[in-house]
């Protein structure tokens, strides 16, 4: 109950009118930058760092936390409406979300994303409040070998987005793996596939690829089909809000997404994308409406959206308990701590309780504000779908171009965006699934680096993957996830096939 | 870049009245020396060490009344080697411009075989440095740096060392230590992590035998007793740090992750003198000393011609160790 009393103290700090205003400013700004691809919370907070010279620390961190949570909300909006993910953690949201929007359920998709984010963000923040010390102990047990096993488990999720042909799906995956290898290799410092271009040494940004394939590729495809009949976007079908049925189908994915997002977000090398993949895979396997997946299933939006917001809360666990920045945004927030002469570390909770608990309380408040801010906005957002297709898609291109340029002001990124856009168009035209590209690009380099880190530590001994209990358990789980569904099919099939034959 | 930064500033200023000083938006003109409208070129993303150096300079120079406006431009990528050609070519002859750079850039230029070198710029001054620390997990059997070096010499594959990306300052120090201890630099079992957070997690979780990174990266973990600092790479003992230098521990190595400023090429003698004076006055000011203390940077100024010689010597030294590590040909 000590944590509870401290949290109440935190609310006393965060609930002053001035701090509420900072929180409101933060969530508004965060939502706005989340909407724009490329301009993420890390960059925004970095640009706002100079305010640390003028504003007191509690207010600054309340502002930053608002931006951080807000960006996760905002990122889903463009994923759903325009198929243009604003953040890499909302890429999965676009898969089902955009299909829902085209089928007239954009309002429901946005609502389940917003409410799911609220539920996951709140549960995640509760997790920070009460479970942080335990979670962080668990997180440190993870070594490179265990991360590699986790990546292998995540690779299984590719099967959920393979589409009708495994060959095509695996081809897409290979394209993604290849794109992920571009750049300087972390372990040896040697450039790979950079063709002598300095701009490629840091690798290709996954947002450039996602926006290129989804937004630019899609736009080109729509334009190429335009003469042969209009694309059937239904702006609105039925109520703008979630129906009772949609509520019923959303609440379990929200909770399961949170269970994936929070612990994996708390892992120092976990990230926000993997829980969204795992959540999508799980929902697709558990749903009672498998035929809707790929055509706009609400579970496929509710789960991943909850997962990415819960992981945003998880990332704060190692930052607040150990002073470990495990994402770019957390690293920049840490440098803000340092501007105040506060050294975040294992003793932060003891030396700066007012600041830490004020920050945690403001996360709760920010979550409520985001919900209040976003739900009424949905009615306005879905109007966007009534814009005639040529104008809408022209807007998407402008949006994608500006956002991509915003990532690092590099013309090379723009060339890449359109080159990848053409690849995306060709993939759509010849019926290759596009999601495996992104999954391969995110998981490939992570799996490779963790594999090599693990092997360097073990001096080349491959048995580490089976002798470490965590790693062995995760690999067994991956095998199970890969084999069990097929096994299940085999068991079921004969019974279905034989009776008609007997007739 | 600049225009977006300003948009954000306007937005913020509207939202929060006095949050950001507005004077920078109404820039004065460069007239008599030294320049009063400074332009800082940061070849890295906002938020990192070079960016913070630039923003700290902005803060101090304004507070001292030395300049009326400061513009910061970020061109991130590949350890500064994406920004460097742009600075050299497009900012040529601008007497009010400075680029932030440092040891990391020296290493990146060699490792990336960058076509434009630091010799194409006009070196002005070294400003700050951060010593690196050699740490072990609290449970580690190594009590001293000598213990560690002995084990490293005996079988490098048994003592994996965690740090930042391959070829960076952490890796360079690992190589220097191995070599100075009589071992083979190429055999060092170096585990590169993407940044200080994941590396620190691996050390705390006892996944590796040791870690190397900036002292500031580990300071709080050391204070909390979760890690032990065996030695730091400074050239003399720091009274604030309870650990010997590598030299004191019998390993004749010192290494600073230093940061400094460079002017573009094509400046007249007067222009060089003016901008050098601006920087020299800044490093002597109490406000700068205070800023370095807050940020945990050692103020280690070298101003003028001797800075150029220092950069050249560092380039030679780093090139040699990168060759030893098998990272430069």
Reduced to 3 states, what is the DSSP secondary structure of residue A197? coil
Per residue in B22-80, pLDDT (tens digit) is: 343 334 444 446 778 888 898 887 767 788 888 888 888 888 888 888 888 888 777 88
* Rounded alpha-carbon distances, angstroms, from residue A379 to A324, A368, B84: 40, 19, 48
Is B12 within 8 Å of A55 when comparing Cβ atoms? no
**Which of A185, A324, A331, A352 to mutate against chain B (most B CBs within 10 Å)?**
A324
Kindly identify which residue of chain A lies nearest to residue B192, measuring between CA atoms: A187
Residues in A touching B114 (Cβ below 8 Å): 198
Of the candidates B30, B124, B88, the one whose C-alpha atom is nearest the C-alpha of residue B264 is B88
Report the Cα B183 to chain-centroid distance in Å: 27
Confidence of residue A495 (pLDDT cuts 50, 70, 90): low
The pLDDT of A142-170, averaged and rounded, is 85
CA A51, CA A336: separation in Å to the nearest integer?
Answer: 9
Per residue in A127-137, pLDDT (tens digit) is: 988 888 888 88
CA B215, CA B238: separation in Å to the nearest integer?
Answer: 11
B319 touches chain A (CB under 8 A): no
For chain B, the straight-line distance linking the first and the last C-alpha, in angstroms and rounded, comes to: 36
Instruction: Output DSSP code: residue B292.
Output: H
CA B67, CA B60: separation in Å to the nearest integer?
Answer: 10
Kindly identify which residue of chain B lies nearest to residue A350, measuring between CA atoms: B224
Q: In this complex, which of B47, B204, B327 lies closest to A49 when CB atoms are compared? A: B47
The pLDDT of B165-178, averaged and rounded, is 87
Residues in A touching B43 (Cβ below 8 Å): none
State the pLDDT at residue A235: 65
State the pLDDT at residue A233: 67
Is A49 within 8 Å of B46 when comparing Cβ atoms? yes
Q: Is domain B130-232 given the CATH code 3.40.190.10 in the classification?
A: yes
Which residues 42-101 of B have a C-beta within 8 angstroms of A? 45-47, 51-52, 55, 58-59, 74-78, 81-82, 85
CA A90, CA B112: separation in Å to the nearest integer?
Answer: 33
Per residue in A303-346, pLDDT (tens digit) is: 999 999 999 888 888 888 887 777 778 878 887 887 777 777 77
CA B162, CA B211: separation in Å to the nearest integer?
Answer: 5
The pLDDT of A42-70, averaged and rounded, is 83
CA A400, CA A404: separation in Å to the nearest integer?
Answer: 6
Residues in B touching A199 (Cβ below 8 Å): 77-78, 82
Could you count the other beta carbons within 10 Å of the beta carbon of residue A495? 8
Higher pLDDT, A478 or A157: A478
pTM for this model (two decimals): 0.82
Beta-bridge mates of residue A227: none
State the DSSP H helix or E strand holding residue B130, giving kind and residue range, or none if neither: strand B122-137
| Same topology between domain B2-129+257-324 and domain B130-232 | yes
B252 touches chain A (CB under 8 A): no
Instruction: Answer for the pair B102, B260: CB distance below 8 angstroms, yes or no.
Output: yes
Confidence of residue A232 (pLDDT cuts 50, 70, 90): low
Is the torsion defined by CA of B44, B46, B47, B53 positive or negative?
Answer: positive
Residues in A touching B216 (Cβ below 8 Å): 338
Q: In this complex, which of B20, B165, B189 lies closest to A189 when CB atoms are compared? A: B165
CA B173, CA B176: separation in Å to the nearest integer?
Answer: 5
Q: In this complex, which of B20, B114, B216 lies closest to A51 when CB atoms are compared? A: B20
State the DSSP H helix or E strand holding residue A339, giving kind and residue range, or none if neither: helix A328-339
Q: Is domain B2-129+257-324 given the CATH code 3.30.70.20 in the classification?
A: no
Residues in A touching B72 (Cβ below 8 Å): none
State the DSSP H helix or E strand holding residue A291, giving kind and residue range, or none if neither: none
Residue B104 is encoded by which pair of tokens? 């990391």
Q: How close does chain B come to A54, measured CA to CA in Å?
A: 6
Confidence of residue A420 (pLDDT cuts 50, 70, 90): very high
Which residues 166-195 of B have a C-beta within 8 angstroms of A? 166-168, 171, 189-195
Higher pLDDT, A339 or A453: A453
Is A346 within 8 Å of B226 when comparing Cβ atoms? yes
Kindly identify which residue of chain A lies nearest to residue B9, measuring between CA atoms: A48
Which residues 89-148 of A have a C-beta within 8 angstroms of B? 139-144
Higher pLDDT, A97 or A157: A97
CA A472, CA A295: separation in Å to the nearest integer?
Answer: 36
Q: Is the ipTM of this complex over 0.95?
A: no
Report the Cα A182 to chain-centroid distance in Å: 22
Kindly identify which residue of chain B lies nearest to residue A342, measuring between CA atoms: B294
Confidence of residue A141 (pLDDT cuts 50, 70, 90): confident
Q: In this complex, which of A141, A408, A456 lies closest to B205 when CB atoms are compared? A: A141
Instruction: Output DSSP code: residue B32.
Output: S
A233 touches chain B (CB under 8 A): no
Q: How close does chain A come to B269, measured CA to CA in Å?
A: 32
Instruction: Indicate the average pLDDT of chain B.
Output: 82
Of the candidates A45, A399, A360, the one whose C-alpha atom is nearest the C-alpha of residue A214 is A399
State the pLDDT at residue B82: 82
Name the one residue in this structure whose structure tokens are 């068991």. A491
Helices and strands per DSSP (H, E), number in chain A: 21, 2
Count A/B contacts: CB-CB distance under 8 Å: 177
Cis, peptide link before residue B265, omega less than 30° from 0: no
Helices and strands per DSSP (H, E), number in chain B: 11, 10
CA B189, CA B168: separation in Å to the nearest integer?
Answer: 15
State the pLDDT at residue A124: 92
CA A39, CA A414: separation in Å to the nearest integer?
Answer: 15
CA A390, CA A404: separation in Å to the nearest integer?
Answer: 21
Burial state string for A7-27 with b = 16 or more CB within 10 A and e = fewer than 16: beebeebbeeeebbebbbbbb
Per residue in B122-158, pLDDT (tens digit) is: 898 998 988 899 999 999 999 998 899 999 888 888 8
CA A473, CA B227: separation in Å to the nearest integer?
Answer: 29
Report the Cα A165 to chain-centroid distance in Å: 26
């Amino acid at each position: 109950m000590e944590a509870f009393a401290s949290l109440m103290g935190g609310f006393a700090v965060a609930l002053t009118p001035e701090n509420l205003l900072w929180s409101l400013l933060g969530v508004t700004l965060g939502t706005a930058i989340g909407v724009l691809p490329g301009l993420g919370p890390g960059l925004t907070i970095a640009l706002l760092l100079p305010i640390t010279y003028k504003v007191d620390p509690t207010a600054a961190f309340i502002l930053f936390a608002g931006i951080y949570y807000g960006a996760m909300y905002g990122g889903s909006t463009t994923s759903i409406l325009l198929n243009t993910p604003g953040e890499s953690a909302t890429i999965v949201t676009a898969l089902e979300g955009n299909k829902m929007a085209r089928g007239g359920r954009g309002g429901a998709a946005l609502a389940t994303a917003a409410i799911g984010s609220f539920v996951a963000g709140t549960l995640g923040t509760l997790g920070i409040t009460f479970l942080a010390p335990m979670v962080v102990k668990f997180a440190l047990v993870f070594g490179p070998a265990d991360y590699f096993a986790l990546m292998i488990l995540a690779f299984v999720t590719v099967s959920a987005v393979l589409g009708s042909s495994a060959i095509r799906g695996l081809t897409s995956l290979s394209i993604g793996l290849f794109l992920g290898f571009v750049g300087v290799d972390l372990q040896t410092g040697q450039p790979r596939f950079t063709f002598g271009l300095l701009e490629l040494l840091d690798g290709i940004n996954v947002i450039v690829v996602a926006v290129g394939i989804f937004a630019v590729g899609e736009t080109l495809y729509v334009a190429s089909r335009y003469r042969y009949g209009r694309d059937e976007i239904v702006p609105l079908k039925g109520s703008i809000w979630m129906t009772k049925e949609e509520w019923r189908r959303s609440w379990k994915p929200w909770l399961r997404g949170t269970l994936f997002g929070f612990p994996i977000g708390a892992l120092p090398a976990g990230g926000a994308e993997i829980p969204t993949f795992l959540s999508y895979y799980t929902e697709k396997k558990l749903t009672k409406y498998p035929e809707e997946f790929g055509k706009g299933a609400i579970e496929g939006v509710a789960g991943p959206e909850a997962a990415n917001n819960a992981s945003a809360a998880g990332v704060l666990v190692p930052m607040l308990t150990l002073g470990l920045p495990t994402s770019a945004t957390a690293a920049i927030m840490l440098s803000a701590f340092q501007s105040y002469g506060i050294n975040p570390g294992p003793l932060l909770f003891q030396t700066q309780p007012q600041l830490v608990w004020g920050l945690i309380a403001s996360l709760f408040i920010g979550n409520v504000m985001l919900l209040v801010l976003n739900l009424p906005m949905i009615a306005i957002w879905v109007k966007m779908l009534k814009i005639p297709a040529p104008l809408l898609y022209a807007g998407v291109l402008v949006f994608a171009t500006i956002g991509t340029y915003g990532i690092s002001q590099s013309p090379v990124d723009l060339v890449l965006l359109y080159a990848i856009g053409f690849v995306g168009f060709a993939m759509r035209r010849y019926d290759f699934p596009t999601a495996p590209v992104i999954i391969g690009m995110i998981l490939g380099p992570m799996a490779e680096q963790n594999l090599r880190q693990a092997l360097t530590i073990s001096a080349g001994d491959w048995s580490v993957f089976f002798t470490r209990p965590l790693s062995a358990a995760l690999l067994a789980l991956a095998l199970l996830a890969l084999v069990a569904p097929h096994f299940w099919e085999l068991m079921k099939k004969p019974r279905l096939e034989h009776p008609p034959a007997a007739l | 870049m600049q225009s977006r930064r300003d948009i954000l500033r306007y937005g913020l200023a509207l939202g929060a009245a006095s949050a950001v000083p507005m004077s920078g938006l109404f820039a004065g003109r460069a007239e008599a020396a030294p320049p009063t409208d400074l332009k800082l070129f940061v070849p890295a993303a906002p938020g990192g060490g070079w960016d913070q150096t630039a923003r700290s300079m902005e803060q101090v120079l304004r507070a001292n009344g030395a300049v009326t406006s400061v513009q910061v431009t970020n061109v991130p990528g590949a350890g500064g080697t994406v920004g460097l050609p742009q600075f050299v070519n497009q900012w040529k002859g601008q007497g009010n411009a400075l680029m932030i750079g440092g040891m990391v850039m020296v290493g990146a230029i060699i490792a990336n075989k960058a076509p434009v070198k630091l010799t194409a710029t006009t070196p002005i001054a070294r400003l700050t440095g951060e010593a690196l620390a050699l740490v072990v997990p609290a449970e580690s059997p190594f009590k001293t740096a000598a213990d560690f070096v002995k084990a490293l010499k005996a079988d490098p594959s048994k003592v994996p060392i965690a740090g930042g990306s391959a070829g960076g300052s952490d890796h360079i120090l690992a190589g220097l230590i191995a070599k100075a201890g009589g071992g083979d630099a190429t055999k060092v079992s170096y585990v590169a992590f993407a940044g200080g957070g994941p590396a620190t997690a691996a050390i705390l979780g006892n996944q590796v035998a040791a870690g190397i990174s900036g002292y500031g990266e580990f300071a709080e973990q050391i204070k909390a007793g979760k890690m032990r600092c065996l030695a730091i790479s400074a050239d003399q003992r720091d009274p604030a740090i309870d650990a010997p230098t590598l030299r004191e521990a019998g390993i004749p190595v010192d290494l600073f992750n230093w940061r400094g400023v460079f002017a573009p090429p094509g400046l007249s003698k007067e222009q060089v003198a003016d901008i050098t004076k601006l920087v020299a006055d800044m490093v002597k000011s109490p406000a700068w000393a205070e800023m370095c203390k807050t940020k945990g940077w050692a103020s280690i100024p070298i101003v003028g011609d001797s800075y150029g010689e220092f950069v050249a010597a560092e380039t030679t030294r780093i090139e040699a160790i990168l060759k030893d590590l098998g990272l430069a040909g």
